[in-house]
Amino acid sequence: MTNITQAANRFVALQDEQLVSVGIYTLAEDVEYAVRIYDVLGDEETLLAQKSGTIQRAGFHLIDVDSVVEMQDSGLWEIRLRQRPILRVNLWFRR
């Protein structure tokens, strides 16, 4: 497996929704992470929320964002994740 430290998931909202957390896997202990959520309009991206910290145990984790992200129907959104030291490239989000 190649060591990957960044991943992104771009998607279209199918209805008006609220994003409250992002799910990630960590494969090691003491992993630093940064999650950023963007609204994408053409070539422009607007940062709507971000959260960073350190996860002490390997496994699946839900990262709650500090403020609810309002996603409009048919809007284009992107969730970016940076982890150190390594990343399993699977992103989930909870509405």
Query: How far apart are alpha carbons 48 and 16 in whole angstroms?
Result: 16
Task: Please state the rounded mean pLDDT for residues 77-84.
Answer: 90
pLDDT of amino acid 83? 87
pLDDT (tens digit per residue) in 23-80: 988 888 899 999 999 999 888 999 999 999 999 999 999 999 989 999 988 899 999 9
pTM over 0.95: no
For domain 6-88, say whether CATH 2.60.120.820 is its number: yes
Query: How far apart are alpha carbons 29 and 56 in whole angstroms?
Result: 5
Q: Which two tokens stand for residue 22?
A: 């992002």
Is 86 a residue whose pLDDT tops 80?
no
Measured CA distances, 2 to 20, 57, 61, 81, 89 (Å)? 30, 21, 22, 16, 11
